[in-house]
Structures are given as structure tokens and as C-alpha cells.
Amino acid sequence: MGHLDLSTASGMTLALLPEVMLSAWAFALTLYAGVRHRDAVDQRRAGLIALAGLVATLIVVIWMWAADVRSVGLPFMMALDAFRWATSVVFLLGAILTVLLSFSYVDRERLWAPEYYVLLLLATVGMMFMGSGLDLIVIFLGLELMSVAVYVLAGINRRSPFAAEAALKYFLLGAFASGFFLYGIALIYGATGTTNLTLIDYQLRSLGLGTNLMLLIGAAMLLVGFGFKIAAVPFHMWAPDVYDGAPTPVTAFMAAAVKAAGFAALVRVLLHALSGALPAWQNIVWWLAVLTILVGNLIAIAQRQMKRMLAYSSIAHAGYLLAAVASGNALGAGAFLFYALAYTLMTIGAFAVVAMAGHNGERDLLIDDLTGLARRRPWLAIGTAIFMLSLLGFPGTAGFMGKWFILQSILQAREHALAVVLVAGSVLSAGYYLPVVMVMFMKPPVSETAHEQVAARGAGRLVVAVTAICVLLFGVWPNPALDLARSGGHDLASSPQAPVSSTSGAER
């Protein structure tokens, strides 16, 4: 297929194919949900439809990636590069795993609203726009689309006061952060006269706007907005509460895909559009990374609840990803892509375990409740151990390769202090990942009947198995994913030469 001329309708449609396709699927599912929303069977069918849509979209994305679709002509709203495909794959993967995870969870919690899956699909569409948008407004709208859907998903369990509170907190703070984000867009628009990322980059470099106050404040506001979405310290404070209150599959989705989407847009904006102002934002990202790593890991140590612990752990991991961003180089973008994939796998796997083990209200699932799990459910315990070790960054797992990649990018940028902070964070994280392994394997179950009801059934079992195997696989043989991630990162940072003629996408 090669190159698409985006000035033609067909070219444009093709460029948007995955998003269009998934949106259409979501519409269809809405219709289905409107008609059939009575019982568990409908619910499951809706889930299957959503799953089919996600898989189909994934296939399309992979197909377009393999065909190396590129655009010719003027810069467009949507990027056509490996970074987009890579991020789309991560989001879709996250969504697919979430759907799989949801089947039994929704059943168990009697969340009989097929709209759940609609919103999941719509949120995924929003993420894909965030990963692919080449214009701040697309990124903003993608972000809002995702956010609106996820606000609702967080509170979808209407019987739960926790879920409602989670949704409210997430919503209020999210909207608040959106205001900053939007302000950032406005200021950058004012400083450069455009919102197209390629053109911003061009203007920034050609006009030497690296120290322009309006641009800098705009960049700062953008960072704040992104910082909220990715739960970077000190914009993270919503995350533990919301992750805690939301239904576990949604939490997994938030921790993995939503965060990855925020990062995808952040990486694209910073490395593509604002690389000319690198010295200005690098320092801030550096500090955010350091704070996020340390605070996330430290507070996680103090947690007793599994879900909150994972929430803080996901904050810490945002710190690692921010460290990759702080390196500000192509390697960092590649490291982000690889780590995002690894992180999605291991985090969803870990939450899947929480969803399964927390049969009587996963909010109350303490780490100590897993005591002796290995004696009753050895495979589940082994899976959990794999996720914990991968999150810890232990060799043989994808998490290790990802961390190695990130460190490589950081050190390439000579940020040795940051590297040390990162490894210090990893050490701290041993303080809360290992106890999980410890209680599961090294203590006897508290009673004869403990863990009787813990069961990995059907799709949930599939999620744990697949994620665990993938985590190990990428930990031993990361080459394909690694090469793709590198090329994705490379694509992003070495942006094509900006066109000289146009200053704005619109005609005058």
C-alpha cells in the first residue's frame, strides 16, 4: 500500500481506518445494547462483539503497520508512522485483555450494562486518537473521549459507593486538569500560530521559540495536563483512590491503557513538537520522574491492600516511563514503547489476579489475604509471582528488558542521577512486590478452606496465562518487539522535514 495521499477522501478514510472501524463497531454495539440489555447472556454477547471489534481493529492496525503506510503531502491531523501503530497495538491489547478479564467479573458483580463494553470501545478509540493525533486538538479530543468514557466506567458499578466516589474524584480532577491542558494548547497555539505538531516543531525551530514565554507556559500547562493523566507525582493524588474504587477490570484498563495513552500523546508532543524546547521541559520531566519514582514506590511500601499497592506501583511505573521521556532521545521513545507493552501485560495480569482472588469485594483484598495461595492454586500463584517479578524488573521477564531499555536511553542522555534514582526505586519496589510472593509461597494458608473460592476460570484464566507467558517470552526473546519499538521511537523523533510552504493547515 505504501503511501497515502491524504488530500483524497479515500486516502483520508484509509488513514483513519482503525479508528473509524472501531467507532463504527461501537455504534453498532450501542444499538445492540439498546435492544438487548436484560441478562447475563446479552452481556456476554456484547462482550464478545466488543472483543471481535477490538481484534478486528488490531488486525487492521497490524496490517497497516506491516504495509508501512506513510503519508505524502501536507501534514495531516493524523500521523501515519510506526509510533502510532505501536501505541495502537498496546491500547488494543490492553482493551482486549480488559474485555477478557471483564467477562467473569461482570458476571460476578452483576454489572449488567452492555454499555460497559461500548464505553470501553469508545475509550479505546479515544486512546488511539491520542496515539495517532498529529494535532493538539485531535489529541485533546481523543483525551476527552477517553476520559469521558473512563469517568463513567469508573463509576459503572452503581451499587458501590466506592465506585461513585471514584468516578466523582476522577471526573472533577480530570476536568480540572483538562482546563490546564486546554490552556496549554491555547498558549502554544498563540505562540506558534498552529496546533499541528509537525508545524509547531517547524515554527519552534525556524523562529527560535525555544525560550518564548507563551510557548513555555503553554508547554508547562500541557505537562500538567499530561501529568494528571499519567498520574505523575504530584498530579497523581487521584490515582490511588480512583484505582481503588473502580471495578478491577476498569482499574486494570486505567492503569495500563489509559496511562499508556497519556504517555503516547506526551511522548509525541514532547519529542515531536517540542523537541526544540527540550532544555525547558526536560528539567521538569526529570523532576517529575524522580518524584514519581520515589513517592510511588515509597507509598506503595506502606500499603496493605493489594489493589492500592498496585495503584501506587503503577504510579511508580509512570515514573520509569517519565524517565524514558526525560532522556529526550529516540531511544527513550523506543524504550517507552517497549515498556508500555511490557507494562500493559504485567499490570493487567496483576489486576487479573486481584479480580480473581478478591471474590468478596476486591477492595478488601489485602496482601495478606493471598497467604498460602501457592498451596491451593499453584499456577495462579506462579503467575502472580511472574507479574510481581516483572514489575520489579527482574531478569527473565519483560519488565527487566523494559527497564534495561529505559536505563539505556537515560544513560545515553547522560542522566546518571536519574538512572540511579530509577534503580533506587526498583530496590524500594522490592519492598512491596516481594512480600506478595512471600505470603503466597512462604506462608501456609490461614485456614483449611482458604482460597477455596479463588478460581481462575475461562477468559480470566486466559488473561493470566497469556500475559504471564508473554511477560516471560519478552523477557527471554524480546527481539521482535524490541526492534519494532526502536523503529517506532526512531520514527517519532526523526520527524520528516517540515514543509516550507504552509504555516497552517487551513486556507486563508
Say whether residue 201 binds another protein (CB under 8 A).
Answer: no
Sequential DSSP letters for 187-224: HHHHHHS--BHHHHHHHHHHHTGGG-HHHHHHHHHHHH
With CB under 8 A, what is the number of residues at the site for another protein?
144
Q: How far is the CB of 417 from another protein (least distance, A)?
A: 10
Please tell me whether residue 384 binds another protein under the rule CB under 8 A: no
CB-based contacts of 108-111 (< 8 A; 24+ apart in sequence): 108/359, 109/157, 109/247, 111/43, 111/156, 111/157, 111/247
- Taking CB under 8 A as the criterion, which residues in 244-263 touch another protein? 244-245
Write down the least CB distance from residue 426 to another protein, Å.
6
| Single residue of 152, 197, 355, 464 touching another protein by CB under 8 A | 152
For residues 463-482, which are near another protein according to CB under 8 A? 478-479, 482
Q: Is residue 59 a contact point for another protein (CB under 8 A)?
A: no
Min CB(276)–another protein separation in Å:
12
Residue 294 CA to residue 421 CA, distance in Å, equals 8
User: Do the Cβ atoms of 341 and 324 come closer than 8 Å?
Assistant: no
Of 200, 171, 333, which is closest to residue 265 (Cα–Cα)? 333
Say whether residue 284 binds another protein (CB under 8 A). Answer: yes
Using the structure block, give the residue that is written with the C-alpha cell 505504501. Answer: 2
Burial string for 243-270 (b: 16+ CB within 10 Å, else e) reads: bbbbbbbbbbbbbbbbbbbbbbbbbbbb
Binding part of the chain for another protein, among 44-52, 209-217, 254-262, 351-359 by CB under 8 A, reads 209-217
| Cα-based distances in Å from 321 to 244, 362, 476, 503 | 22, 28, 21, 33
Site residues for another protein, window 89-118 (CB under 8 A)?
A: 111-113, 115-116, 118
Residues 19-48 touching another protein, rule: CB under 8 A, are: 23, 26-27, 30
Quick note: the x/- pattern for another protein over 161-190, rule CB under 8 A, is xx-xxxxxx-xxx-xxxxxx-xx-xxx-xx
Q: Which of 8, 10, 283, 494 binds another protein (CB under 8 A)?
A: 283
167, with CB counted inside 10 A (0-12, 13-18, 19+), is buried
For the bound state, the minimum distance from the C-beta of residue 35 to another protein, rounded and expressed in Å, comes to 14
Nearest to residue 370, comparing CAs of 302, 304, 464, 457? 304
Contact between 396 and another protein by CB under 8 A: the answer reads yes
When asked if residue 386 is in the footprint of another protein (CB under 8 A), the reply is no
Among 36, 55, 404, 450, binds another protein (CB under 8 A): 404
Cβ closer to another protein: 159 or 457? 159
